[in-house]
Amino acid sequence: MSFPKDFLWGAAAAAYQIEGAAMEDGRGLSIWDVYSHDKNVDSGTGRMNIDNGDTGDVACDHYHRYKEDVALMKEIGLKAYRLSISWSRVLPEGKGKINEKGLDFYGDLVDELLKAGIEPYVTLFHWDLPQALMNLGGWSNPDSPDWFAEYVKVVTDKLSDRVTHWITFNESQCHIIIGHLLGECAPKLKLPYPEVFQAMHHLFLAHGKAVQTIRKYSAKPCMVGYAPCASEVYPVTDKKEDIDAARRAAFDASAKNLWNTSWWIDPIVHGRYPKEGIEAFAEYFPEALLKEEDLALISQPLDFLGINLYRGSGIRHTEEGYVQAEKKIGFDRTAFKWPVTPKVLHYMPKFLFERYHLPVLITENGLSMADWVSLDGKVHDPQRIDFMNRYLLELSKALDEGVNVVGYFAWSIMDNFEWSQGYGERFGLIHVDFETQKRTLKDSAYWYRDIITSNGEGLQGL
């Protein structure tokens, strides 16, 4: 079967990773500005916060070059572009006075996208909390849901006459677990579990208030979603017992492991925390988080479920239940050393659709490669083409089985600031020379254009 005729082909990026102009036109500091400018070397690991001491001060200079970038998106043939808003560009202090220049940038970007025939999908939070709010406790502060709702109203008032697709949070578990529990990215906290759960809960409440705010103030009928990552698993075979085992593993919160999907989607969609997860963390989980009114607010009805999928773990059935299969020796991996596991794009959308009954949108998928501009002036990235081809073939299997997958966003539209790895990883369809800011479409960008034009019929092996 071919992809549905209205299937959405897009690409994505995030504000701090591409915009630059960090200190321009009234933008306030975010936690990533502070984190990336901290050049102290960790005595335990011998590492700085960001590889090579890189920062997002300039990044891809998208703030000044957005028209050029949108023209390249049009050349690729994108139907949609997922961007994120820098909260501190709009509200430098996180609340209160609006920075009109910052807000106008997003209005101009949306206009440019629409003029190019590209639908904007706006993500409201992609990890870059204003530092001014971090100084007030960040997500640990019980006022944080109201701060977020205030910010969301400002953006909704500005853009909702043109933007009709919204995403509240991107990869909330990465932001909370890596940034607030493990202390391995901004804001570099190592909170005890009870405080981590409290921060999670405030973020979930912020999501609920954001959904309410968008629906109340949107100038047009709109669609609202949420984009976490998931417990990326797949069955090692297509036998029923392995598929059932992988499905259990995807949502099994019985281990003391906050990464499990159930923690991050069950409250949002079903209005409840996973019972077995609460039992596993019984000594740490605050009972106060189970208030019915809170869970009702958190679980506002959604129109779609975004999901970021890159790699997965193979799951095999055992008599005791299931086990994670060992990777084969010399397993296929990306430049980031992530395993190449296309089957995750077949089975995780299937499992998520079965459990949550929401249309699934692949909000991120892609890989980092060691690619560069060749002597012929082109960027040859055959592995990216093969990777995307393999993953999209698996996604087509989910569609064949009746899974309502509405679109696919490649990560990323261009090489950018890859968080703690700085500029050391290249995920883009477009190569960026970070010294000259020259853009070069990679072979994969032209390949993707053909896939979009054929609505997936050009996939090898379809």
- Which pLDDT value is given to residue 2? 73
Active site residue 364: yes
Provide the whole-model pTM.
0.98
Lookup: tokens for 307: 């999901």
Q: Provide the domain limits for residue 302.
A: 8-453
Let me know if residue 135 belongs to a domain: yes
C-alpha 195/C-alpha 150 separation (Å) is: 24
Residue 17 marked as a ligand binder: yes
Q: Residue 462's pLDDT is what?
A: 83
Is 170 labelled a binding residue? yes
Which of these, 94, 158, 169, 165, lies nearest to 125 by C-alpha position? 169
Distance CA 17, CA 185 (A): 14
Please report whether residue 134 resides in a domain.
yes
Residue at 460 is within a domain = no
> Is-contact 85 128, C-beta < 8 A?
no
pLDDT of residue 1: 56
Asked if 11 and 76 count as a contact pair (C-beta separation under 8 A), the reply is yes
Q: What is the CATH number of the domain that holds 449?
A: 3.20.20.80
Find out whether 70 and 428 touch, Cβ atoms under 8 Å: no
pLDDT of residue 44: 79
Residue 116: CB atoms within 10 A of its CB come to 16
User: What's the confidence (pLDDT) of residue 11?
Assistant: 99
Provide the sign of the torsion angle of the four alpha carbons 181, 12, 225, 212, taken in this order: positive
For 1, other C-beta atoms within 10 Å of its C-beta total: 9
List of E strands, 285-394: 304-308, 313-318, 321-324, 360-365
Model confidence pLDDT, tens digit, residues 423-437: 999 999 999 999 999
pLDDT tens track, the chain, 462 positions? 579 999 999 999 999 999 999 999 999 999 999 999 999 988 778 889 999 999 999 999 999 999 999 999 999 999 999 999 999 999 999 999 999 999 999 999 999 999 999 999 999 999 999 999 999 999 999 999 999 999 999 999 999 999 999 999 999 999 999 999 999 999 999 999 999 999 999 999 999 999 999 999 999 999 999 999 999 999 999 999 999 999 999 999 999 999 999 999 999 999 999 999 999 999 999 999 999 999 999 999 999 999 999 999 999 999 999 999 999 999 999 999 999 999 999 999 999 999 999 999 999 999 999 999 999 999 999 999 999 999 999 999 999 999 999 999 999 999 999 999 999 999 999 999 999 999 999 999 999 999 999 999 999 998
- Is 462 a domain residue? no
Domain count, the chain: 1
Is 411 marked as a binding-site residue? yes
Contact 48, 41 (CB under 8 A): yes
Integer Cα distance of 147 and 169 in angstroms: 14
What order do you get walking across the sheet with 321-324 strand by strand?
233-235, 313-318, 321-324
In a domain, 1, yes or no: no
The CA distance from 106 to 222, in Å, is 18
Alpha-carbon distance of 278 to 290, in angstroms, equals 10
Active-site residue identified among 19, 112, 171, 232 = 171
Residue 257 marked ligand-binding? no
107 in any annotated domain: yes
| 458 part of a folded domain | no
- The reply to whether 3 falls in a domain is no
Residue 448 near residue 387 (C-beta atoms within 8 A): no
Q: Which entry of 19, 112, 232, 364 is annotated as an active-site residue?
A: 364
